[in-house]
């Protein structure tokens, strides 16, 4: 219950039937715009991958993947994906995608170690996308240009929601604000990272925080990131490290920053080796994914994930992700949500 944020005087704009229709319309409209703007083709994605290949996303390195034995393969272990950050890059190579084009897919995951609440569920659904780039595009300006295009698709979707449901007023600013995690730390040196995000997001309403995973001036990271997909050590904004970041929106229902997407320019061979060494994870260099990258058989790329349920939750002004997706919640949380007029599916 400690993770349930209780909004005051919450009154949903839409009933259950309208909500389900809104979810369908948002997902169809946004993915069409995302695909068109970034030149992405849709591909089919796995729900699980083989353990020990290095393909699964390690997130912060402490989350335990859901695993199971495959009877017909001698009980070899499979893992439910955490995300498809590495699988997508392999797929780009398999499809021989050219620079300037990419793929996207519906990623469904189970994260059993999530702290359940308004923003986190056992079930994760997002659009995972990946795009082939050239060496001269491995820079902060290119990253920012992709963020701006994704944000433009979000703005168009917000307007369409207003057309469908006039009672839900648009609130996104015209432009997204960029700031490096170190600059954010210097602005609010006495605050913890999530509180810094709340401060900057309340001010600008839409923010992209650059440099997730690199150590800041105080020797700490703004947030964790696996060392073998995003490049968080190359020079980025204002010569500070990081070619990746998180896209945050201000959630007026919950009064806090709301992460919609994590994305970034991916590691090349040199950065992969460097980041694994710094994190003491050099043993991963012998895994399938990492061998492919070192051998030069994987393209340079940029990619990320965009939360489907979270985006719908934001557009439809919902207080809990359980109003958007069907999942499992503690009985105490369900009871309290009913008292707060939050109707979990």
Residues acting as catalytic residues? 57, 111, 126, 246, 259, 262
At residue 28's C-alpha, the angle toward residues 25 and 31, to 5°, is 135
Q: Residue 285 and residue 86: Cα distance in Å, rounded?
A: 14
Terminal-residue alpha carbon distance, the chain = 18
* Closest to 261 measured CA to CA, from 82, 101, 126: 126
37 burial (CB, 10 Å; 0-12 / 13-18 / 19+) is middle
Q: How far is CA 227 from CA 232, 275, 296, in A?
A: 8, 5, 18
At residue 214's C-alpha, the angle toward residues 57 and 262, to 5°, is 45
User: CA-CA-CA-CA torsion for 137, 227, 40, 162, nearest 10 degrees?
Assistant: -100
Q: φ, ψ for residue 5 (rounded to 5)?
A: -85, 125
Cβ within 8 Å of residue 19, ≥6 positions away: 12, 316, 318, 323, 324
3-state secondary structure of 214: coil
Cβ within 8 Å of residue 266, ≥6 positions away: 89, 229, 230, 231, 300, 301, 302, 303
User: HEC states along 28-71?
Assistant: HHHHHHHHHHHCEEECCCCCEEECCCCCCCCCCCCCCCCEEEEH
Question: Is 212:242 a contact under the CB 8 Å cutoff?
Answer: yes
Q: Residue 287 and residue 273: Cα distance in Å, rounded?
A: 13
Question: Is 29:61 a contact under the CB 8 Å cutoff?
Answer: no
């Amino acid at each position: 219950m400690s993770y349930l944020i209780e909004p005051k005087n919450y009154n949903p704009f839409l009933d259950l039937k309208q909500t389900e229709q809104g979810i369908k319309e948002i997902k169809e409209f946004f993915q069409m715009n995302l695909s068109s703007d970034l030149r992405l083709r849709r591909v089919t994605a796995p729900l699980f991958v083989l353990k020990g290949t290095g393909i699964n996303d390690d997130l912060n390195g402490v989350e335990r993947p859901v695993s199971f034995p495959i009877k017909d393969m001698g009980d070899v272990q499979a893992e439910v994906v955490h995300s498809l950050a590495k699988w997508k890059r392999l797929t780009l190579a398999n499809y021989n995608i050219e620079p300037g084009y990419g793929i996207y897919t519906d990623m469904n995951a189970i994260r059993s170690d999530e702290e359940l609440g308004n923003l986190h569920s056992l079930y994760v659904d997002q659009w995972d996308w990946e795009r082939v780039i050239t060496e001269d595009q491995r820079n902060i300006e290119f990253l920012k240009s992709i963020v701006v295009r994704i944000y433009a698709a979000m703005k168009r979707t917000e307007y369409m929601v207003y057309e469908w449901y006039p009672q839900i007023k648009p609130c996104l600013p015209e432009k997204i604000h960029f700031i490096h995690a170190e600059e954010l730390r210097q602005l609010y040196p006495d605050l913890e990272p999530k509180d810094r995000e709340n401060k900057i997001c309340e001010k600008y309403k839409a923010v992209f925080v650059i440099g997730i995973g690199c150590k800041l001036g105080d020797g700490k990271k703004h947030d964790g990131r696996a060392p073998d997909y995003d490049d968080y050590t190359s020079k980025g904004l204002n010569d500070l490290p990081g070619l990746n970041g998180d896209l945050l929106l201000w959630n007026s229902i919950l009064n806090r920053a709301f992460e919609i997407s994590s994305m970034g320019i991916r590691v090349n061979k040199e950065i992969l080796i460097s980041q694994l060494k710094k994190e003491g994870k050099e043993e991963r260099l012998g895994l399938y994914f990492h061998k492919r990258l070192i051998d030069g058989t994987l393209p340079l790329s940029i990619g990320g994930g965009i939360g489907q349920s979270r985006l719908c939750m934001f557009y439809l002004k919902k207080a809990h992700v359980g109003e958007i997706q069907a999942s499992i919640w503690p009985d105490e949380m369900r009871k309290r949500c009913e008292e707060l007029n939050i109707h979990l599916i």
